[in-house]
Amino acid sequence: MKALGVAVVGTGFIGPVHVEAVRRLGHRVVGILGSSPEKSRVAADQLGLEKGYASLAGVLADDAVQVVHLASPNVLHFPQCRQVLAAGKHVVCEKPLAMTTAESAELVKLAVASPVVAAVNYNVRFYPLVLEARERVRAGGVGRVFHVSGSYLQDWLLYPTDFNWRVRAEDGGGLRAFADIGTHWIDTVCFITGLEVEAVFADLQTVHPTRQQPTGGGETFTASANRDRRAAVEVPVATEDAGSLLLRFRGGAKGSLTVSQVTAGRKNCLRFDIAGAEASLVWDSEEPNALHIGYRTKPNERLIRDPALMTASVTPFANYPGGHAEGFPDTFKQLYRAVYADVTNGRSESPLYATFADGHREVQLCEAILRSHREEKWVTV
Amino acid sequence: MKALGVAVVGTGFIGPVHVEAVRRLGHRVVGILGSSPEKSRVAADQLGLEKGYASLAGVLADDAVQVVHLASPNVLHFPQCRQVLAAGKHVVCEKPLAMTTAESAELVKLAVASPVVAAVNYNVRFYPLVLEARERVRAGGVGRVFHVSGSYLQDWLLYPTDFNWRVRAEDGGGLRAFADIGTHWIDTVCFITGLEVEAVFADLQTVHPTRQQPTGGGETFTASANRDRRAAVEVPVATEDAGSLLLRFRGGAKGSLTVSQVTAGRKNCLRFDIAGAEASLVWDSEEPNALHIGYRTKPNERLIRDPALMTASVTPFANYPGGHAEGFPDTFKQLYRAVYADVTNGRSESPLYATFADGHREVQLCEAILRSHREEKWVTV
Amino acid sequence: MKALGVAVVGTGFIGPVHVEAVRRLGHRVVGILGSSPEKSRVAADQLGLEKGYASLAGVLADDAVQVVHLASPNVLHFPQCRQVLAAGKHVVCEKPLAMTTAESAELVKLAVASPVVAAVNYNVRFYPLVLEARERVRAGGVGRVFHVSGSYLQDWLLYPTDFNWRVRAEDGGGLRAFADIGTHWIDTVCFITGLEVEAVFADLQTVHPTRQQPTGGGETFTASANRDRRAAVEVPVATEDAGSLLLRFRGGAKGSLTVSQVTAGRKNCLRFDIAGAEASLVWDSEEPNALHIGYRTKPNERLIRDPALMTASVTPFANYPGGHAEGFPDTFKQLYRAVYADVTNGRSESPLYATFADGHREVQLCEAILRSHREEKWVTV
Amino acid sequence: MKALGVAVVGTGFIGPVHVEAVRRLGHRVVGILGSSPEKSRVAADQLGLEKGYASLAGVLADDAVQVVHLASPNVLHFPQCRQVLAAGKHVVCEKPLAMTTAESAELVKLAVASPVVAAVNYNVRFYPLVLEARERVRAGGVGRVFHVSGSYLQDWLLYPTDFNWRVRAEDGGGLRAFADIGTHWIDTVCFITGLEVEAVFADLQTVHPTRQQPTGGGETFTASANRDRRAAVEVPVATEDAGSLLLRFRGGAKGSLTVSQVTAGRKNCLRFDIAGAEASLVWDSEEPNALHIGYRTKPNERLIRDPALMTASVTPFANYPGGHAEGFPDTFKQLYRAVYADVTNGRSESPLYATFADGHREVQLCEAILRSHREEKWVTV
Ligand SMILES: NC(=O)C1=CN([C@@H]2O[C@H](COP(=O)(O)OP(=O)(O)OC[C@H]3O[C@@H](n4cnc5c(N)ncnc54)[C@H](O)[C@@H]3O)[C@@H](O)[C@H]2O)C=CC1
Ligand SMILES: NC(=O)C1=CN([C@@H]2O[C@H](COP(=O)(O)OP(=O)(O)OC[C@H]3O[C@@H](n4cnc5c(N)ncnc54)[C@H](O)[C@@H]3O)[C@@H](O)[C@H]2O)C=CC1
Ligand SMILES: NC(=O)C1=CN([C@@H]2O[C@H](COP(=O)(O)OP(=O)(O)OC[C@H]3O[C@@H](n4cnc5c(N)ncnc54)[C@H](O)[C@@H]3O)[C@@H](O)[C@H]2O)C=CC1
Ligand SMILES: NC(=O)C1=CN([C@@H]2O[C@H](COP(=O)(O)OP(=O)(O)OC[C@H]3O[C@@H](n4cnc5c(N)ncnc54)[C@H](O)[C@@H]3O)[C@@H](O)[C@H]2O)C=CC1
């Protein structure tokens, strides 16, 4: 293998996850960029990286860097993607791709016009059993899909004292829980089933209309389960803490999704139930090494993530033998495996990773969801 | 204890379940009524009962009978309830209470005017851990309830060759899956949380617009998993096989429910997730001996159905020590325990079992669900 | 069906379980016998039974009684069985059949000589999925059985303040946990696999060498989880609280079993893992409605207790459709279904229920286990 | 951080796992050594490593290398460890440390005499919830430990056509399944409880006395579930496929362990039940993100691997937020995190990782197990 040079933008929760995953593949993370040169330096030092960049321009000017990963807050994705594409470097952008469809549509155009690889970081696709579920649908084992239901539940914003930039519409977008985690679910089930969303009906909820914003800044998933008692100021919150969505897919299948960031005890639980004419598929991200396959005429199955039992095309993405549990960090590795293969060998026609077109569709869905909630009617996407 | 005399109407799937449950309590099942005198006789003989009645009139004329259980098809509930009430006998009616709110409203009036005990057979309330969940909400352990989501999934109508009187609107009602099993879910979560449904939004699905109706009649849950190859005629089906529902409760809580009778591998799976400000409660009828309690600031709990660990008021309804699994048949016993206590001691003010008023509310919900689906808008109940 | 007349001896934990199960089948429980006429009367009244007997002689003189169930403490099984057999009545004796092999051997002889049906109450056999597991082994689906391992764990004797007649060797026998619950496990796995124990090696443990014996008497599985603070006197305890056993079966298979009545959090958890050349079977009495079937070359299965998916000969013992959970009480019903069929139709050659010969073998095992522990060597049975 | 230079010996199943884990930490894997210079080159190329070494001497002569990881077959551990220690480089040796206690005792002496860090790769210790279990025992939450039971089950050697160097006593050692995986279990439970094994009693089983040895060589956990049909020759096998072990710990606690590499459906399932006076702990390596805590007087707990809910000293080893599943590969990262901290900062007094003394104790246990099995008696360790 030929090692690629990679730079990561973002030093918060998920930036270092990118760094670790790139390294597992044997590629070289040249440096990192934070919100200030000082933060970049500190992060580079902590992570043992050569360079802490002073600016995105600095990253883009670095010839050692072929691929740029954007793991910054949502509001920066659009301007930063544009810059990276303009510089002719490959880009992996965190989700959501942009704040508006106007932005994401422009990025799609730019990406298509450019020769580089441009991916959106929908990592859930790369759980080996999610890939396997997709192959089973494609091979006909599930039959015509009737219905998809599920949920994505978390509890890290349960208390009114919990705060993060995501709760502020100006930083995260007007739609919060659905944009932040709900789109992972929709991307995943559409990826597996091949279905396309035709229309949505939403009903959202802000259970805490005000929250305590720490005056010192709040990080994602900070390691304390307790109600903070830090200095804080009460601010109004307009984005949703939870909500439910009905979906209509092209071709007649239907679906439903519940999303919440305020469900006590659920840490990061994405779950789907795909009901087809021959079988159903159930999977839960908190127990990602098992796929449950339901049947009417024979015993249900519990397929363990085991390369020896999975479809051949999936096994490159399941690196450990059965029973040797893989998890969340592994999905980033596998996603970049697919992206870097295209970087090295040229863009493939229908890549496994989410393209900017996929990312754009999710932003469209977000706008439709918000409109449906406000207007209390079905909105066609 | 003083043994009561009981008669059961209905010899299909659920009638004999009533018989068994009544017997467990030490009461006397005097006889049974089927759709013909001959069927009554055969059932009485098989079940070891003294009398196979010739008609409901015969049941009502029998002085040995104080309580009548109606386990006949839905369309008969209204006329039969009316007769039983007119005869001054106590009545336990299977759900749904009636086919229309006009009917159910009349039954409520008749029941209020009568001195007898009148209950609707919402048995799910009587799983010991459902009763326990309710006590925990009432005691404040869950906090303000934000959201209730869940599903009721089965697969016995998965194939177009599956048939039962429930699929025909004229026998089961225009709403099928939601009326048949969805109302169990709504009754259960309202019972637990004390919430009242304010408005619903529904989207229903008939995945098999035609089905093969056996010319010889089709029974409920027949013991074959296979696609039948019996003589049959293709008939159009208007009732829903599956669907999703959004709920708004009075006071601001919201909810969502998915119902299906065509989800492969789910035999009879009622599941709820109740999310509150302090804790969440998760329960699944296929594993009824565990209640999952989610927390943010401490480990989640898995409460086993164990009288030693449950609220004192619930323990009379949990008759076996922890680890000695109870199940579906036990709920009927516990429901009749509560009903017969009122028969013996006089009507209690807020009984645990569902009253006719509760049954009426479920019929109202069914009408609202069907209207919402047809008009594609929120319908206030 | 023709209803049989039944009497139950024992008014503690398990006696009333027998009463309930007999009633479910439509048979008639004529009366009950406790440790005193007064106790018999109270129990008869509470359970709604006609007669509270004054003595076993009274039971045996009652022509209305054809079958006697013995649910008294272990030490009484031998003398009471003998009396029942002498009276020519059918008998269902709780386990263990007797205190010594001398006693149990005599009972076997008496039973063989008598025309009545004589069964030992090893109810675990009658979980529908245990019966199904047996059929699958017999049909060859598991292949040659290599190994059987498992455990039977409880926590009701965890604290030194917990007390029951079982801890006293003179009332329960010199072997406690293994005799009380371990024999259920051995009976179950031998029943399923058809294997016979050839030799055992045991290591036992008394974690509380003294216990607080309440001066007022202590009942089985009393509904309090807490350390009692009742008047009590400290007594030495010689019987084991826990222990482990290695087994050698005739033909080369091996096994291991851990038994404990002091494992916090396990209420009544019998679990086995049967490993064969083609498949393995795992089952847990706390989740009795699922049988886990392990494979090497295809996904593992989770077979739900569903008559539609089970072997035809087992379905009479699985009375509720898939997903409608059955449990512990149902096993008593099914056991008596099998016993009473023989009472009515004559003794069958190889009954599903445990015969006195089976019960005798368990007593032999108990003696071998105790000897092996004391002598620290393999003991052939 | 200062990046260390690392070399890995072994290019089979587990060598590349070491490479990946070292990289995640930001350290530099300089090169790799296989069984031939050619194999080294191929592996270096595939993994994107600079150097494919020609010999261990070459590794040890490389100044860029400070730490050597030995992931070669068991029989090489002793000679290779000796060479690495002699060269004054830090060493991480795969388990078991050596083939005999004579060898392992010598290595302990050499390691003590040397200033380097010397660790044995018992990675199971580094599942975050295993570390947490240990902290909970130490903090008294479990109370005096009465009993430890469990199993380590796999199925990759189920068929007589399965082969690997481990089945040959000369390559893997006379004890196989217990040495290969059983020692992981013993190391883990002793690590958690602080207990020391005093004596063992074993009963082993070779279910396939002959196996088909492929003439072309057989790798570990090859990705085929099927019975191989490759060219092979039938060879006798003396090592055990499965077995059971009784344990006595110093201080009175007891234990039992079942080990098997022929249990269909279990891929890599290490499970323990630790029973203490106050609580019990249950964990399963196939679902490593949950620790089950059993209680008598309150609901059982299911602790999710969540830094926010874990003991502070453990959180550095749990790098992802709750619900973001970690797995088997992560344990190698955390183990090397602990080892490299000592490499950088000097040897700590009681390190979390297994020292050579710990590794020696496991080899002692292996010898005792084999002797006990052969002599059919308790063997003191
Ligand atoms: N795929 C997945 O599973 C996940 C995706 N994400 C996505 O990743 C992005 C980052 O989220 P988190 O890491 O959770 O947030 P965070 O708040 O923990 O980290 C954001 C980082 O961006 C840095 N940043 C801010 N302004 C910057 C600038 N101008 N230039 C460079 N860096 C700047 C901040 O210093 C901070 O380190 C979001 O878009 C989020 O949606 C986050 C978590 C999981
Ligand atoms: N609470 C629960 O969990 C359940 C409730 N049910 C309810 O119980 C009722 C019966 O359902 P199944 O037993 O499943 O149906 P089924 O079709 O198996 O049995 C219905 C029985 O009613 C008898 N019947 C028909 N006409 C009659 C008449 N004129 N007089 C007396 N009996 C007559 C039929 O012969 C048949 O035996 C339904 O209303 C259903 O909604 C059914 C199953 C479960
Ligand atoms: N198969 C199973 O799953 C179970 C079997 N058992 C077995 O059932 C038997 C009874 O156990 P438990 O009900 O738990 O004990 P318990 O102590 O709760 O009840 C024993 C009963 O026997 C009565 N008794 C005492 N002396 C008597 C006499 N001379 N004549 C008639 N009755 C007398 C006592 O009054 C008491 O009601 C034991 O042999 C036990 O091993 C117990 C529980 C479960
Ligand atoms: N901690 C854990 O979880 C695990 C530990 N192990 C241990 O790791 C070791 C290796 O096991 P696997 O990778 O499964 O075996 P393997 O057979 O897959 O690989 C062994 C490797 O050693 C290489 N080798 C042979 N002779 C050599 C020599 N003279 N110099 C350098 N390399 C040589 C072989 O080419 C092969 O690549 C064993 O000691 C095993 O017990 C293995 C798997 C998991």
Is the alpha carbon torsion for D20, D21, D27, D28 positive or negative?
Answer: negative
pLDDT in tens, B35-48: 999 999 999 999 99
What's the mean pLDDT in B154-177? 95
Chain A interface includes C303 (CB < 8 A): yes
Residue A49 maps to a domain:
yes
- Is D144 within 8 Å of D211 (Cβ atoms)? no
The string of DSSP letters for C168-199 reads SHHHH-S--HIIIIIHHHHHHHHHHH---EEE
In which element (H, E) is residue A45 found? Answer: helix A37-47
pLDDT band at A222 (very low <50, low <70, confident <90, very high): low
- Single residue among A124, A143, A177 that ends a domain in this structure: A124
Distance separating alpha carbons of residues A376 and A378, to the nearest angstrom: 7
D276 to chain C: which residues are within 8 Å by CB? 264
Q: Are residues A256 and A359 in the same domain?
A: yes
Count interface pairs C-D at CB distance under 8 A: 149
Last residue of a domain, one of D124, D145, D164: D124
Helix (H, G, I), strand (E, B) or coil at C163: coil
- Among D94, D124, D154, identify where a domain stops: D124
pLDDT of C225 > 60? The answer is no
Three-state secondary structure of D55-71:
CHHHHHCCCCCCEEEEC
3-class secondary-structure state, position B190: helix
For residue A348, tell me if it sits in a domain. Answer: no
Taking only the tens place, the pLDDT of each residue in D341-371 is: 999 999 999 999 999 999 999 999 999 999 9
CB-based contact, D293 to chain B, within 8 Å: yes
Beta bridge partners of C294: C280
Residue A336 lies in a domain: no
Q: What is the mean pLDDT of residues B143-153?
A: 98
DSSP conformation class of A182:
I
DSSP SS3 for C70: strand
Is the residue at A345 inside a domain? no
The CATH number assigned to the domain holding D138 equals 3.30.360.10
**Domain range for B259:** 125-380
Q: What is the pLDDT of residues C188-208, one digit of tens each?
A: 999 999 999 999 999 999 999
Peptide bond into D96 cis (omega under 30): yes
pLDDT at position B222 is 57
D56 shares its domain with D156: no
Q: What phi and psi values does residue A154 have, to the nearest 5 degrees? A: -140, 170
Angle at C252 between CA C247 and CA C255, to 5 degrees: 25
* Nearest in space to A12 (alpha carbons), one of A220, A153, A197, A161: A220
B-interface mutation test, from C13, C324, C334, most B Cβ less than 10 A away? C324
The pLDDT score that the predictor gives to residue B340 is 98
If one residue of C8, C9, C14, C176 were mutated to test the ligand 3 pocket, choosing by the most ligand atoms within 8 A of its CB, it would be C14
Residue B226 has pLDDT above 70, yes or no: no
Instruction: Give pLDDT, residue C218.
Output: 53
pLDDT of res. B223: 46
Pairing of strands A254-260, A145-153: parallel
- Give the model's pLDDT for residue D223: 46
What is the total residue count of chain C? 381
Residue C223 lies in a domain: yes
Q: State the CB neighbour count (10 A cutoff) for residue D113.
A: 8
Is there a single domain that holds both residue C165 and residue C194? yes
User: 10 Å Cβ neighbour count for A113?
Assistant: 8
Q: Hey, what are C276's tokens?
A: 């064969």
Contact B267 C47 (CB under 8 A): no
What is the rounded average pLDDT of the residues A116-128? 98
* B67-70 and B51-52 strand pairing: unpaired
- Residues B227, B349: one domain? yes
Structure tokens at B79: 């006329």
Distances (CA, A) of A232 to A216, A229, A261: 8, 8, 21
What is the Cα–Cα distance from D369 to D186, expressed in whole angstroms? 12
Return all residues near D176 (Cβ < 8 A) that are at least 6 apart.
D166, D167, D169, D239, D240, D241, D261
Instruction: Give the whole-number percent of chain B exceeding pLDDT 90.
Output: 94
Exposure of B256 in the CB half-sphere (CA atoms within 13 A): 24
Residues C250 and C373 reside in one and the same domain: yes
Whether residue B221 has pLDDT greater than 90:
no
A7 CB-near residues (< 8 Å, 6+ apart): A29, A30, A31, A32, A33, A51, A53, A59, A62, A65, A67, A68, A69
CA of C234 to the centre of ligand 4 (A): 57
A206 and A316, same domain (yes or no): yes
**Cβ < 6 A, ligand 2 pocket:** B 9-15, 33-35, 39, 71-74, 76, 94-95, 121, 123, 165, 180, 219-220
Confidence of residue D220 (pLDDT cuts 50, 70, 90): low
C224 touches chain B (CB under 8 A): yes
Question: Cα separation of B105 and B102, whole Å?
Answer: 5
Q: How far apart are CA B4 and CA B67, in angstroms?
A: 8
DSSP state of A2: -
**Once rounded to an integer, what is the mean pLDDT over residues B106-131?**
98
**Residue D153 falls inside a structural domain:** yes
Q: Which listed ligand is nearest to A52 at the C-alpha?
A: 1
Reported as a pLDDT band with limits 50, 70 and 90, residue C217 is low
Relative to the CA of C328, which ligand 3 atom is closest? 3
Residues contacting B96, CB < 8 A, separation 6+: B74, B77, B104, B173, B179, B183, B359, B362, B363, B366
- D16 touches D37 (CB < 8 A): no
pLDDT for D171 = 87
Residue D341 lies in a domain: no
Whether C238 shows a pLDDT value over 70: the answer reads yes
Q: Which of C38-47, C165-174, C316-325, D5-14 has the lowest mean pLDDT?
A: C165-174
Distance CA C361, CA C96 (A): 10
**Is a pLDDT exceeding 70 seen at residue D283?**
yes
CA atoms within 13 A on the CB side of D72: 24
**Residue in the block written with tokens 């004796």:** C93
Query: According to the model, what pLDDT value does residue A231 have?
Result: 84
Query: Which chain C residue shows the shortest CA-CA distance from D203?
Result: C246
B3, pLDDT greater than 80: yes
As given in the structure block, the two tokens for residue B30 are: 């005097």
CATH number for C118: 3.40.50.720
Q: How far is CA A228 from CA A212, A214, B294, D141, in A?
A: 9, 9, 20, 26
C165 vs D: CB within 8 A: no
Tell me if C339 is assigned to some domain.
Answer: no
Cα separation values, C69 from B377, C80, C181, C355, D69, Å: 62, 10, 19, 14, 67
Mean pLDDT computed over B148-160: 98
Contact present, C63 and C84 (Cβ < 8 Å):
no
pLDDT tens digits, A236-252: 999 999 999 999 999 99
User: In chain B, which residue's Cα lies nearest the Cα of C322?
Assistant: B267
CA distance B337 to B352: 10
C154 shares its domain with C193:
yes
How many angstroms separate the Cα of A263 from the Cα of each of A211, B208, B284, C56? 17, 36, 17, 59
pLDDT mean across residues, chain D: 96
ipTM for this prediction:
0.96
Kindly state the tokens that stand for C273.
Answer: 């893992």
Backbone phi, psi, residue A124, to 5°:
-60, -30
Pairing verdict, β C5-9 and C28-33: parallel
Structural tokens at position C17: 């379980």
Number of domains in chain A: 2
Taking only the tens place, the pLDDT of each residue in A299-353 is 999 999 999 999 999 999 999 999 999 999 999 999 999 999 999 999 999 999 9
Residues B134 and B259 in one domain: yes
pLDDT > 90 in chain A, percent: 94
Q: What is the mean pLDDT of chain C?
A: 96
Provide, as residue numbers in chain B, all residues whose Cβ is less than 8 Å from the Cβ of D300: 301-304
Q: Are residues B185 and B276 in the same domain?
A: yes
- List pLDDT tens digits, range D29-53: 999 999 999 999 999 999 999 999 9
CB of A299 within 8 Å of a chain D CB? The answer is no
D84 and D171, same domain (yes or no):
no
Residue labelled with tokens 């002699």: D86
Work out the mean pLDDT of chain B and round it to a whole number: 96
Residue B228: pLDDT above 70?
no
Q: What is the pLDDT of residues D154-212, one digit of tens each?
A: 999 999 999 999 999 988 899 999 999 999 999 999 999 999 999 999 999 999 999 99
Q: Is C223's pLDDT higher than 50?
A: no
* Residue in A253, A303, A307, A313 with CA at minimum distance from that of residue A277: A253
| DSSP per position, C287-349 | STTEEEEE-SSS-EEEEE--GGGS-GGGGGG--S-TTS---HHHHHHHHHHHHHHHHHH---S
Q: Extract the runs of DSSP E, i.e. beta strands, from chain D.
A: 5-9, 28-33, 51-52, 67-70, 90-93, 118-120, 145-153, 197-205, 210-214, 232-236, 242-249, 254-260, 269-276, 280-284, 290-294, 300-304, 354-355, 379-380
Residue C90 shares a structural domain with residue C134: no
State what percent of residues in chain C have pLDDT above 90.
94
* pLDDT band of C231, cuts 50, 70, 90: confident
Q: What are phi and psi of A225, to 5 degrees?
A: -85, -10
Q: What is the DSSP letter of B262?
A: -
pLDDT one-digit tens code per residue, A140-177: 999 999 999 999 999 999 999 999 999 999 888 999 99
pLDDT category, C176, cuts 50, 70, 90? very high
- Span from the CA of A153 to the centroid of ligand 1 (angstroms): 20
My answer on whether D96 and D144 are in the same domain is no
Is a pLDDT exceeding 90 seen at residue A217?
Answer: no
